A and B are shown apart, each in its own frame.
Chain A
């Protein structure tokens, strides 16, 4: 087949223009080379682990550098140190990392295996056979049952439901928990579950190549010479779950890595922290410094060799291979390269890893981040990002399930001018739910046990038979598109397109108006125990423009009624003039509801005249069957009947926020963290939530909405916004516009701008897609970054990631993405730090996250306490570590000037081996595991402290230069004080003190004292462990000294241990101790002076906060005033419906009603 050849060629070339497949034809699939359904997230296998892992590890600059050093050290002509000094630590470092990688990969293997080996029913040889997921191939026909996850991206062929419908839940994919309907095309749905027909089915599908667009699919099915168009409503995607559908058959279209789920999952990249990158740059600097120093020394050596060394040959002849001083200098260059390599200590990297691991454990151990109801502690899944938690500047948050619980609560209502649901009457004095008394619904056997309401007057009104209340609930139980399910008698489960609708129907159910079942023509309601069947005459479905929906029913009393619910702004226009007073009263109530951040709806009814309805019905069906402009015609017809409504009341639904979200956001705002909400939800709900959790405030100067659909309008909208926030930012002279004008190919950093006042920005997915594609990204970024809060709605998972990437690319700050659903995975992976809420919406987010916990408000603790501590610790660690090693190493450089640049080390080679590994490792680990500048309470009380990390004040290039200068100074002091002490000097018994070994001892001991004093000064939090580590290490050094220089050891290995008896002979000399004392004080004094003067001359904001905290510690503050939760007085009604068209059309066309259910209903009717 020439086509197939072309196809496979395309695929091999990496570009597949379109996909071609045929049902039940595996040969075709094989010839095209489509992958099978195996997914592979693991990196290694048993064979390639060692070479691949080593290769990866040596890509790390530092590891490669040490490898080169090892090779250098094996050359005896240049090596002043034995090669084991580098080989041992390098091996340790490599193997620790390798083991860690291996364990990680094993886990991935297990996960992959588990998924790949799941069973699935596959049509083969005319029978259904159980097979593993991984064996599914393109063109196969598979059978899926209820509640099964979809195996691959499949084209729906037929299902158990009438009209080839199948219900799926897409939470894993896009985070939306409501059900979606897919419908098979009629020609295939006729195949039903007839295996013979299915086996004979040989339709050919031509469709898009694999892509990551979740809501786009176009294809053509050719079957029996006929062509059928396929849209995305025919495609079941991998990651979805089949619901309420007994079985369905599907044709596999995309498999394994080609599925939209996998295409959307993005590459998992190894995350590196800013500090990591900074350290890499610094290591490069040090390396350059090393090259320069070595070069200078080599030149010095060459001069020395020709001026002195040449003549000194009578006592020290040159080696045979040294032909001139230049050759000698070339060798010396490498010798010093080896000696000075401790400037970049290999233990740096392993220490950093250990510190991060330790700090990750603290996160796992934190009881204040343990969520008892779900028994989940916080978890640091990536242990290499801790300090970045202390530097976060942008938080990207999902809405549903992250900020909100995704639980809609019927909270209050206003019925005929009467407010119900105000527990204990008073507004403001909010009583916690737990203390209030729940209303008893025991009179109603069909009540949902999960429903809670706290105002018993409403129940009393219902039971009393209040006409308006009854009518109100009746309308709630009739006017909706919910589909009920009653698997077990009396246990109703509602499937609603939006949780709001579900909440309303459930409320009606609990108050005694139980929506029991529906057919295409009827709705069965159990009214206070009496079953009544209403005939549905029309459903006037919801649309975004109409913002309302209505049903027209015929009551059992043969009365025609229209029930309508919708946004208050719309409904109040349609009311009958007689209820103006009531309307005004209800409006007041609505204002109150809105103040509390509740989502409101108005409910109204109209009694219809039979004749009027008849004539309307004709118009309706005319419009319904018209082919052109149906939508518009219909809505015109709808408007005719939806008027002169009688107001019933209003509902108020609470979109429950997670615990303490509000406080958390206030705290994070104080810490200058910008919060962007990226949600798949629609604009109204997102904005409503943004207000209720304080991302937007009422005091804001303006909230900009970007809704344009093309380049010009969006650009205009963004520019207007910027002009309002900061007019000068639009001028070309403004520094921030430069990157805009230049349109650079390489990403540059866009500086922060300070707007006048606080603003908010709302942008929706379509505009965003346009803005991102059409070079407007910088405009968008500049506008967005000036705003205090940004809301992006209707986002696809990929767009979420794109927004994160955008900020990452052009802004210096650290980004953190937090979410709970599979739709957040790409954003979690894209951000510097991904946080998963382990909660309701599956595990995908958590599995891909770097940190996970179960409550949003733990974020403040993670950032402000753990993050800040980790950051402080790692900064203290780094500045100390660099200082320590500069001091340690640079002494050799000074000594070079006195020993003919001969690469003679100052220290005993054992001291060099042990210094980083043993003598100084514990104190610095102690510092970086236990240190805290202020405790967690203060950290949370003063979020301002967090700013230091965002601007990376504690360790940056400047700090590094400080360390370098301090290190040079200290090494200078150490060397010259020691030289001054021993030069032409004697012991108190007249013997030699100016020998090399005593000199080594003095410098070593001084170094140990200096380094110990320095760490003591850096330690702000002296626990018992700190004392033990710091003083213990110094003590241990002396013990080691006596051990290494002991008679026994030195006599056993005289060629390895040369320093016999130096310790006991020299350590009793007064001048030695005087010298050590002098060096220590001289090294400390400037540091103390600097620490004292710096806050005076260059105070940073953090210093002031510390002053306040110190003041508070002495004079405790009065208890902090709790944040007042306030909402504005103007109304923001959120129309509480799904953004999509409702099920209305389906219901009226009779497609959802199952014949089986009808039977069941009739049974229940009899009861």
Chain B
């Protein structure tokens, strides 16, 4: 039989498994991992598991959606546009570029009282706070009170980095374009009493805690705030320097809350920012009773040039934030669709499985 398997020397080196000798076996280890036998759970997508999922999603989503929707609808919200582009608007006069300091007043009526804490927002439209070059035009190091960054702001701030050879504090396009209208709210108590009651507006507590206490810090050092900002100049558009934003030391300089709120750039070109808090005074009276109000505006902020709009919003709040019907509607829709889909799939499955089974048998 085997004739030619005699002493046949390998021409190219020996085989890897030179037989003979106590060569140790090269048998691979018998571990579950190496043999790909790891214990595993193997879920299978069948009608029995998929169809219930659709119904369950429907059953969960619809109640949640209704809950959110009702909550959102219970929120009181009023929005007043005071851009003044319409000639009839009281603020129309402020659009002319010649007017430097302009005041206007807008009347409005609350049909129903606003209970609980009321929040006052200003809203801007068509304002591209999310433009890439705008977003990056800031120096977080400077805003954190870093003294070297204060005098030598980041290049990202260009062209609002230096003005007349002095570093700008705070530098950058965001800070430079800070919203600087002043809004005041008055309640006209009743027809007989012409003297309006000013509504107390709280200017503190409107910024994120982390922003106010961690991210934004005034430059360190002794002396007054003004001394600490020595060697810098105000942003070009600003009327007054950063250390004169507020009289309250805790709300002045970089930690001025209006400034902090502004510096938290919006994600979309239409946005609103918290302006003031109207805290509930006591349980008996609603915070803002129904009635006549007027809004006093110191109109400084130009948006007309780029078709921007300015609004003032008053709103109450619920457990899930302000008025936003989107989530409620979305949940109800998705829930219904899922439920419907479940029904459709059930029918299809029934028909197809049956026909296939009959075809098979």
Contact = CB atoms under 8 A, between A and B. Distances in A.
Interface of A: 80, 114-115, 147, 149, 169, 171-172, 177-178, 239, 241, 308-309, 311-312, 314-317, 319, 335, 362, 364-367, 370, 372, 374-377, 406-410, 448, 450-452, 493-496, 499, 502-503, 506-507, 838, 840, 842-844, 847, 869, 898-900, 902-904, 930, 932, 935-936, 977, 979-1000, 1020-1026, 1047, 1050-1051, 1054-1055, 1058, 1060-1061, 1064-1065, 1069-1071, 1074-1075, 1078, 1081-1082, 1085, 1088-1089, 1091-1093, 1096-1097, 1110
A661 B57 CA distance: 54
A1050 B146 CA distance: 13
Contact of B319 (A169, A408, A494, A1070): A1070
B320 A1070 contact: yes
Contacts of A408: 1-3
A1074 B320 contact: yes
Contact of B317 (A450, A495, A989, A995): A989
A507 B1 contact: yes
Interface string B258-271: 00010011111111
B349 interface: yes
B321 A374 contact: no
Nearest to B27: A370
Given A410-B1, A994-B271, 14 more contacts: A147-B7, A451-B1, A502-B4, A838-B15, A899-B132, A902-B128, A988-B319, A988-B320, A1022-B42, A1023-B38, A1050-B214, A1054-B141, A1081-B61, A1081-B338
Contacts of A1055: 139-141, 154
Contact of A365 (B35, B64, B207, B307): B35
Nearest to A178: B4
A241 B130 CA distance: 79
A1078 B176 contact: no
A950 to B, nearest CB: 22
A838 B16 contact: yes
B32 to A, nearest CB: 9
A115 B12 contact: yes
B9 interface: yes
A976 B338 CA distance: 19
Contact of A899 (B5, B128, B176, B261): B128
A362 B211 CA distance: 53
B210 A842 contact: no
Contacts of A147: 7, 9
Contacts of B29: 365
A493 B6 CA distance: 8
B133 interface: yes
A1093 B348 contact: yes
B174 to A, nearest CB: 9
Interface string B80-97: 000000000000000000
B307 A308 contact: yes
Nearest to B317: A990
A60 to B, nearest CB: 31
Interface in B255-305: 261, 264-274, 277, 302, 305
A1061 B215 contact: yes
B5 A407 contact: yes
Nearest to A376: B17
Contacts of B10: 842-843
B73 interface: no
B25 interface: yes
Interface of B: 1-13, 15-17, 19, 23, 25-30, 34-45, 47, 50, 53-54, 57, 61, 64, 68, 117, 119, 121, 123, 126-135, 137, 139-141, 143-144, 146, 154, 159, 173, 176-177, 206-211, 214-215, 261, 264-274, 277, 302, 305-307, 315, 317-324, 326-327, 330-331, 334, 337-338, 341, 345, 348-349, 352-353
A503 B44 CA distance: 57
A843 B13 contact: yes
A1082 B7 CA distance: 71
B162 to A, nearest CB: 14
A1078 B327 contact: yes
A994 B268 CA distance: 8
A409 B2 CA distance: 7
Given A376-B17, A986-B321, A1091 B4 contact: no
Contacts of B173: 315-317
B133 A1065 contact: no
7 contacts: A375-B27, A450-B2, A988-B319, A992-B274, A1078-B327, A1078-B330, A1078-B334
A884 B159 CA distance: 39
A987 B321 contact: yes
Tell me if B's interface is mostly helix, strand, loop or mixed.
Answer: loop
A985 B317 CA distance: 10
A732 B4 CA distance: 52
Contact of A991 (B208, B327, B334): B208
Contacts of B131: 309, 312, 316, 899-900, 902, 904
A315 B160 CA distance: 10
Contact of B261 (A177, A178, A992): A992
A1020 B129 CA distance: 46
Contacts of A1025: 38
B40 A990 contact: no
A898 B268 contact: yes
B35 A1060 contact: no
B135 A409 contact: no
Contact of B338 (A114, A366, A903, A1085): A1085
Given A988-B321, A1054-B141, A1055-B154, A450 B1 contact: yes
A1069 B319 CA distance: 9
Given A992-B274, A1093-B348, A843 B15 contact: yes
Nearest to A148: B9
A149, A372, A1085, A1110 — most chain B CB neighbours (10 Å): A1085
Contact of A843 (B12, B268, B321): B12
Given A241-B11, A316-B134, A838-B15, A988 B317 contact: yes
A999 B266 CA distance: 9
Contacts of A496: 3-4
B345 A1092 contact: yes
A987 B41 CA distance: 41
A981 B72 CA distance: 12
A452 B207 CA distance: 95
A1051 B39 CA distance: 47
Contacts of A980: 324, 326-327, 330
Given A367-B30, A842-B10, A1060-B214, A1089 B341 contact: yes
A310 to B, nearest CB: 9
A983 B19 contact: no
A859 B121 CA distance: 73
A1088 B27 contact: no
A1078 B345 contact: no
A499 B39 CA distance: 50
Contacts of B271: 984, 994
Contact of B39 (A241, A493, A1023): A1023
B91 to A, nearest CB: 19
A981 B12 contact: no
Contacts of A309: 128, 131
A995 B17 contact: no
Contact of A317 (B45, B128, B159): B159
Nearest to A977: B330
Contact of B305 (A314, A372, A842, A1089): A314
A314 B302 contact: yes
B151 to A, nearest CB: 15
Given A311-B306, A1078-B334, A983 B45 contact: no
Contacts of A171: 8
A904 B135 contact: yes
Contacts of B208: 991-992, 1061, 1065
A309 B266 CA distance: 17
Contacts of A410: 1
A365 B34 contact: yes
Q: Which of A80, A898, A980, A986 is the most central at the interface, judged by chain B CB atoms within 10 Å of its CB?
A: A986
